[in-house]
Structure 1
């Protein structure tokens, strides 16, 4: 019989840091967003006003899985909705149970949630990777514990498959666009001293954990000069809250071998950047930008071209470019990864109202259009 231990503070969770790391290494298609370091840093920066509910599943005296959940209050026209969800907030692409036994972890953890006092209005498990990892385990577990979910696609992400090599990838792109990109890069090299820097430390296990703060600062400087510096959104690298959050994660990502920073220099001045995380050859794009003073040189397009070729040469499996569309992304992405959302509403009066509103929205709002808006 499995036993579930619920932890509600970072101090309590710290004792299981190494257990979390062991289970992360057992997780299929794990990435940096599933690490203890990500969760702890996220909680220190954004945990105010939230409640932690990290569920550890124990079987035969051993922790076999972790399901990290947080309770947040989401403002709606019906008031503040108490929502039990994953701690991702659209920073990453996918989330789910940690460890090599995801089905057992989901079932035991969600049964614990179902049997505990219901201090929530809805369970909202977003960012589920149905096709490649979950395999419909999440909805099956929710139904089995008496919480049948409503399912919907959540977001789409353009993906470049790079494991076939550079030449093979080139052949999949339109010939005229390939020639145009090569002409752009050639003209750029005629006008400037072009230097592409990619920093991907191997991690502390390989005595290679230099964070290269100079490159992080270069990325932040470009973001500040670009249109990101004029946006009020708190999600751009130019925003102080985001910059401080990613700065605190930067060294941890380097120590785990999950850091991938790309900077294009023109005449020794940073002109474009792509700030990524990487694990087991899967690259996840987090933030990109370019210096508007070099707009005529198309530095973002040149950086993408050099980064994709380098990923192919390194033997990376895939390059996830993140939500949204741009010319530099559209030039390369041939696949689209889709995350899904599974929602269960409580039987309270507010829960019933939420379910009715959701039914109305799904009935009269095309799902494809809603996914496109969230992914833009």
Structure 2
């Protein structure tokens, strides 16, 4: 289903009578230098209809700051295939002067809260990654138009909740766009991700660690090398002019290794070997490999796989997804060895950041030299009792957290 913005898509600029006076410069000024412009929002509700916009999506993705695999159409199609049940897809494409200048993928889903079931309009990420946002090089205009459209259309949701916003990239755009069109936006700090900003060489990184941990890293790498352990990095470079097949045999060996670790007995449903998520992770591996956005680090001893690190990468930025190592090799500290070698090799390759994610903070704090805070912006429908109860619950929760 495709729908377009009401009122012939005419979007008045902030500061005019149709918008809040707190909004400032026209979000379209960087596009055309005009004070007024006609914009149209196309809403796509069926995943198969997005095939028609694949080339446009790809063009805009290449312009997206700090873009990740999770902002690709490949990711959205994979996510929808496995987790789109009982959800409503709402992809908003912003068109200015016959050209699509930005995309805002959204999803409506029912969530269970302390206030009861709540219908939420949010990003299609579900905490698989650390950050999310609009696709394209004009995020201000995209967010402005999308929020204008959402404010003018019927609302089936109770809570408009944009999570995983990266403040370094967003710079208040989302908050301003929501407020500009009448959403009573409440900002919260959402999650903390632990990252490593990579310096010019490995010794400079080690110098930032405690003497004890620095010695542990060096000792683990030295013992591994003495034991004949070698590292391999699978990071396919895709050439559109040549056929390419992902290394599925290597991935299968990583899954088999994961089954022999604690992941094999995990009931969380988030490991690469779990029955509920195995096919999802495999498809992500295939899609990311075909895009040249996969990074798979392995350690081997006598051709035996003893550890792996499964990551996504783009423009020198890595996001760690899953890691595993052979239980029988604990005396070689394979976890420390793996990450130490990965950091050293990433520095040599010219990578700039490794995002270790949000889970297991105590283990990651030893490695991290930068914490990345994501933001959450909420608008609670005044017509929803559950949303208003949730608003007070959030206020108490975040107030208590701030006072702690």
TM-score range, shorter chain: over 0.9
Q: CA deviation at 1:147?
A: 0.4
Q: Counterparts of 1:91 and 1:349 in 2: how far apart (Å)?
A: 29
Between structure 1 and structure 2, the one with the greater Rg is 2
Compared with structure 1, are the counterparts of its residues 210 and 11 closer, same or farther at alpha carbon in structure 2 (3 Å cutoff)?
Answer: closer
Cα deviation code 1:160-194 (max 9, x no counterpart): 1114222322322233432332222222333x331
Runs of 4+ in 1 over 4 A off after TM superposition: 206-210
How many Å separate the matches in 1 of 2:360 and 2:48?
A: 41
CA displacement, residues 237-274 of structure 1 (integer Å, 9 cap, x when unaligned): 12123221121122221121100001111332221111
- Give 1:347 shift: 1.1
- Which of the numbers 378, 382, 388 marks the counterpart of 1:347? 382
**Counterpart check, 1:325 vs 2:360:** yes
- Output the aligned Cα RMSD: 1.8
Q: Give 1:31-110 correspondences, 5 Å limit.
A: 31-110=68-147
1:287 alignment partner, SS class: strand
Q: Displacement, 1:326? A: 6.3
Query: What secondary structure sits across from 2:128 in the alignment?
Result: coil
Of 270, 274, 280, which aligns to 1:245? 280
Pair 1:15 & 2:52 matched: yes
CA contact (8 A) 2:198 2:354 kept: yes
The answer on whether the counterparts of 1:69 and 1:87 sit within 8 Å (CA) in structure 2 is: yes
> CA separation of 1:173/1:358 partners in 2, compared to 1, >3 Å: closer, same or farther?
closer
1:143 pairs with 2:179: yes
Name which of 280, 299, 320 aligns with 1:285.
Answer: 320
Q: Deviations over 1:288-345 (max 9, x none)?
A: 1222222222111111111100000001011111113367634421111111100111
Residues in 1 aligned to 2:375 and 2:362: alpha-carbon distance in whole angstroms: 26
- Structure 1 stretch 302-311 or stretch 180-189: which is displaced more? 180-189
Query: Which SS does the other structure have where 2:277 is aligned?
Result: helix
1:167 to 2:223 alignment = no
> Is the contact made by 1:66 and 1:97 (CA closer than 8 Å) also made in structure 2?
yes
Q: Is the 1:162–1:319 contact (alpha carbons within 8 Å) kept by the matching residues of 2?
A: yes
Residues in 1 aligned to 2:87 and 2:282: alpha-carbon distance in whole angstroms: 22
| Separation of aligned partners in 2, 1:50 and 1:150 | 24
* Range that drifts further, 177-186 or 255-264: 177-186
- Return 5+ residue gaps in structure 2 as ranges: 1-37
**C-alpha displacement of 1:281:** 0.5
How far apart are the structure 1 equivalents of 2:186 and 2:194? 25
Q: In the alignment, which residue of structure 2 is the partner of 1:361?
A: 397
Find the residue that maps to 1:148 and give its secondary structure.
coil
**Aligned mate of 1:152, from 188, 192, 208:** 188
Cα distance per residue 1:328-365 (max 9 Å; x no partner) = 634421111111100111111322222222223333x3
Give the CA deviation at 1:47.
0.3
Q: Which whole-Å CA distance do the structure 1 matches of 2:253 and 2:192 have between them?
A: 29
Is the partner of 1:141 in helix, strand or coil?
helix
More displaced stretch, 194-203 vs 135-144? 194-203
Give, in whole Å, the separation in 1 of the partners of 2:229 and 2:99.
Answer: 53
Q: Deviations over 1:115-159 (max 9, x none)?
A: 1111000011000001x2100101111100100211111111111
Go from structure 1 to structure 2 and tell me whether the alpha carbon gap of 1:64 and 1:183 turns closer, same or farther (over 3 Å shift).
same
Of 65-74 and 233-242, deviating more is: 233-242
TM-score (normalizing by structure 1): 0.93
Structure 1 stretches lacking a partner, 5+ long: 370-376
| 3-state SS of paired residue (1:187) | helix
How much does 1:77 deviate?
Answer: 3.5
Deviates more, 1:227-236 or 1:302-311: 227-236
Match of 2:29 in 1: none
- Once structures 1 and 2 are overlaid, which stretch shifts more, 339-348 or 292-301? 292-301
Q: State the secondary structure of the residue aligned to 1:140.
A: helix
Cα separation, partners in 2 of 1:368 and 1:253, compared to 1, 3 Å: farther
Q: Aligned to 1:266, which of 285, 295, 301?
A: 301
Q: Is the 8 A contact 1:228 1:238 kept in 2?
A: yes
Contact kept, 8 Å, 1:300 with 1:328, in 2: the verdict is no
Higher-helix-fraction structure: 1
